Amino acid sequence: MLLQKQRELVVEYGKKLVTTGLTDGTFGNLSVFDRESGLMAISPSGMDYFLTTPEDVVVTDLEGKVVEGSRKPSSELDLHRLFYQRRPDVNGVVHTHSTFATVLACLGWAIEPVHYLVAYSGTSVPCIPYYPFGSLELAEAAWDAMKDTYNACLLGNHGLLAVGGSLSFAFDAAQQLEFLSKVYYHTRLAGGGVMLTDAQLQAVLGKFQSYRQA
């Protein structure tokens, strides 16, 4: 079986999406990219995370063609493969419909640097307008908003996208950015909040770099 280890990771983190409350039911999706073979392991479409086995995880190339697996790959295949194609530092992608990130995505609010954990994304978390789920337009719009600058973005009227050097980083980002979304929402409702300055943010981003490598 191709990408056995990566398929196991997709199964493991799929369950974590549910147990940590980042998604309900079969919503959301995740993938791991193997740079050596140029193939990715992506969660199957519409399958219960607790019933998904490594055999159910689909292996595709970066054109989106299924290389191994009998299931249909996630409908957000394009959202995953574009980042692997265009960013050499990305090897894991997580997409969720977590509650507060989705609330902000429905309000059309990008997240300002109200808390240092914004560094999981960069200096902010951009928000794109609505595009139909599973569409190439959605994937291209997310790419345009993030490029090399951000590791996450809010998908208008939909949810959150987080990418990282590994699936574990992308997952941590999704989890911490859900916390950040909750904090940002309440701070704005309470009248605004004090935003971090550029200098403070740059210092955090530098520390993040060394912290993550340690």
What residues are annotated to the active site?
Answer: 76
Q: Which of residues 156-185 bind Zn ion (CB under 5 A)?
A: 159
As measured in angstroms, the least distance from the Cβ of 158 to Zn ion is: 6
Class of residue 194 by CB neighbours under 10 A (exposed 0-12, middle 13-18, buried 19+): exposed
DSSP 56: G
CA dihedral sign, ordered 8, 50, 77, 130: negative
As measured in angstroms, the least distance from the Cβ of 161 to Zn ion is: 9
User: For Zn ion, what does the binding mask look like between residues 131 and 150, x meaning CB under 5 A?
Assistant: --------------------
Q: Which stretch binds Zn ion (CB under 5 A): 61-69, 104-112, 119-127, 154-162?
A: 154-162
Q: How many residues bind Zn ion (CB under 5 A)?
A: 1
- The amino acid present at 198, given as its one-letter code, is D
Class of residue 8 by CB neighbours under 10 A (exposed 0-12, middle 13-18, buried 19+): middle
Question: What are 27's two structure tokens?
Answer: 């919503």
As measured in angstroms, the least distance from the Cβ of 160 to Zn ion is: 9
- The amino acid present at 213, given as its one-letter code, is Q
Residue number closest to Zn ion, CB atom: 159
> Can you give the binding site for Zn ion, defined by CB under 5 A?
159
